[in-house]
Chains A and B, each alone.
Chain A
C-alpha cells in the first residue's frame, strides 16, 4: 500500500514539473512575454522596457528564469495582482470557496442521478429507459453549458420567477436558505454534463461486473436478485467511479468557469475572466497553475482512495 502511494506521488511530482513547464511556456508565449503590460503604457521607451527586463531578470537564459519561477511557485510566492497588489494565492483563496461549493453540489447531483440512471440502464438493458438514457446523455454532452444556463434563467427566472437569475446570495440576507436558493440553478446547469458522464460510466461499469463469474455464483446459490444487483454488482461497479471523480475535475472546473459567468457567481472562474479583461497576468497565470495542481492532487487522491477501497489495484 505504502509502495503504491509512494509510486503515485513520484509520478505526480514528475507531472507537476511538466505542468509547470507548460505554464511557463504559456507565460512566455505572449507577445513581449511577461513585459506585455509595460509595452502598453504610454511614453514607455524601448530603453525603459529593457531596463525593467533586466531588473526582473528577464534577460537571463530561459532555463535559469524557469528554475527561479518554479522554486518561487513551490514556496508559495506566486507574485502580486496588478489590480490591487494582493498576493495571487490569497486572491485565489478568497474566491475558491464559492467555486468549490458549486462543484461539490454539482458532483453530488451527478453522483445520485448518474448512478441511478446508469444502474437502471444496465439492469434493464435495451429497454426504453436505457435508450432514452443513452440518447439523453449524448444530447446533454452536446449542449453548451452557458446556453443551458441562459435557458434555465429564461424559464425559471424570467418567465416563472421561481429562481434568482444570479449571484450567490441576496444582499443583506445571509441565511443558509438564501444561499441554498441561489445555488439551485447554477449547480443544476453545471451538473448536466456530469450526470451524462456518470450515467454512461456507471452503466458500462455495471455491465462489466454483471457478466463476471462471482455474480453467476451469487445467483446460483439462490440469492435474491435484489441482493445480487445492489449488494454484489453495484458495490463493485462503483469502484471505478472513484477514479472518474478525479478524471472529471478538469471538465468540472471548465464548466464552473462558464456557469459562474452566466450566473455572476463570485468564484475562481469569474475571477479568471475578470483578470483576463484587466490583463492581470499574475492572477491569470496563478489560476491556470492552481487549477492544474488541483487536478493533479485530485487525481492522486482518487487513485489512493481507489487503492484503499480495492486491494486488487495495489497488486498491479
Chain B
C-alpha cells in the first residue's frame, strides 16, 4: 500500500469528497500525453522484443565465421546489414550485443539504485554527522571522472559481464543517493513521519516503509536516467577494450575495431552507434516524461 492512513489527514477533506482521481492516475495520464516519453517506451519495447526474439528469426548465427563473405555491404545479399571483417552477420551480432548491453544497463541500474537509495535514506534520515560523512563521501567519488575510475577498476579486475556490471553499478549510484537524501531530509520533517515516530515505529520501519514509498517518484526518475548512463558507460568501456570481451558482442565492443575500416566498411561503425544512441535517447526521453508526470507541482496549473 503506497497511501498511508496518515496521508489522508493531510489532504483537504472537501477535495477528497469530490472524488479526485488518484494521483497515480493523474501522473499516468500526464505521462501518456508526453509524446517523447511514449516514443521512448515504444522504442525500448521494440528493442527488448527484437533482442529477445530476433536472433531466433535470423538465419545466421552471431558467431558463425564466413571468411568468403567478409565485408559484405548492407542490402547486398543474404546479409541485410552486411558482415564484419570475419564474415559474421552484422544484424545477428547487433541483436546479441543488444541483449548484453541492455542486460548490463538494467542490472547495473538495479544495483546502483539499491545502493544509492540505502545510502541516501540513511544519510537523509540520520543527518548530522552520519549524513555529512556519507554525502561528503559521495562528493569525493564524484570528483573522479567516471570513465577514469571505471577503466582503472576494469583493468585491475578481470573483466567479465558480471564484473563490468558491478563496476558500472559501483560508480553510478551517487546521483541516486543525492536525490534520495534530499527527498528524505524534507520528508523526515513531515507530520506522518513524526506520527510514525510517536507510535514507536523503529528507524528501519520509518525509513523503508514510510519515507521511501513517499519518495518513489524521484527514485524512479533517477533510476531511468541511471539505465541510460549505464548503457552509455558500458559502451565507452567496451569501446576502449576493457569492457565486454570478444567473441561476445556488445554495442560498444563492436565499434572497437570499426575505426580502422571507416573508409572501406563504414556500416560497421554506423549501426552499433545508432543502436546505442537509440536506446540511450529512449531512456532519457522516458526519464524526462516521468519527471514531468510525477512532478505534483504541475497539478496546480
**A interface residue numbers (CB < 8 A to B):** 14-15, 18-19, 21-22, 26, 29-31, 36, 135, 138-139, 141-147, 150-151, 153-154, 158, 250-251, 253-254, 257-258, 261-262, 272-273, 276, 279, 284-285, 287-288, 291-293, 295-296
Within the complex, the shortest CB–CB distance from B137 to chain A, in Å, comes to 6
Shortest beta-carbon distance, A146 to chain B, in Å?
5
Give the segment of B122-130, B143-151, B185-193 that binds chain A.
B143-151
- Contact of A142 with B153 at beta-carbon distance under 8 Å, contacts A15-B139, A288-B148 already known: no
- Determine how close the nearest CB of chain B comes to the CB of A106; give it in whole angstroms: 14
B2 within 8 A of A: no
> Which residues of the partner chain B approach A19 to less than 8 Å between Cβ atoms?
140, 143-144
Q: Which residues of B contact A22 (CB under 8 A)?
A: 140-141, 144
Number of interface residues of B (CB under 8 A): 46
Q: Does A250 contact B143, Cβ atoms closer than 8 Å?
A: yes
Complex Cα gap A102–B282 (Å): 30
B21 lies within 8 A of chain A by Cβ: no
| Chain A residues whose CB sits within 8 angstroms of the CB of B266 once the complex forms | 154, 158
Q: A180–B158 Cα gap in the complex (Å)?
A: 41
Shortest distance from the beta carbon of A178 to any chain B beta carbon, whole Å: 23
The answer to whether B240 touches A254 (Cβ under 8 A) is no
> Is the contact region of chain B dominated by helix, strand, or loop, or is it mixed?
helix
Contact A31/B255 with A22-B144, A292-B144 known, Cβ cut-off 8 Å: no
Q: Which A residues are in CB contact (< 8 Å) with B137?
A: 18
| Distance between Cα atoms of A22 and B240 in the complex (Å) | 23
Interchain nearest-CB distance for A103 vs B (Å): 11
Contact with A along B232-265 (1 / 0, CB 8 A): 1001100110100000000010010011001100
By a CB distance below 8 angstroms, the chain B residues around A258 are 147, 236, 239-240
A288-B276 contact, Cβ under 8 Å, with A31-B156, A138-B288, A273-B151 = no
Question: Cβ of A142 and Cβ of B145 under 8 Å apart?
Answer: no
The reply on B152 being an interface residue by CB < 8 A is yes
B148 and A253 contact, CB distance less than 8 A:
yes
CB under 8 Å from chain A, chain B span 102-131? none
How long is the Cα–Cα vector from A144 to B236 in the complex, in angstroms?
Answer: 7
Do residues A284 and B155 form an inter-chain contact, with CB atoms below 8 A? yes
State the CA gap A144–B228 with chains docked (Å).
Answer: 11
A254 touches B152 (CB 8 A): no
Partner of B147, one of A30, A158, A254: A254
Of A139, A261, A292, which is within 8 A of B281 by CB?
A: A139
A18-B137, A147-B255 known; A254 vs B156 contact (CB < 8 Å): no
A36 CA / B157 CA spacing, docked (Å): 11
A–B Cβ pairs within 8 angstroms, 26 of them: A14-B136, A15-B143, A19-B140, A19-B143, A29-B157, A31-B156, A138-B281, A138-B285, A146-B236, A146-B255, A147-B269, A147-B276, A147-B277, A154-B266, A250-B143, A250-B144, A250-B145, A254-B145, A257-B145, A257-B147, A262-B259, A272-B151, A273-B151, A273-B240, A292-B143, A292-B144
Cross-interface CB contact of B277 among A144, A153, A272, cutoff 8 Å: A144
Residues from chain A with a CB closer than 8 A to the CB of B146 are 250, 254
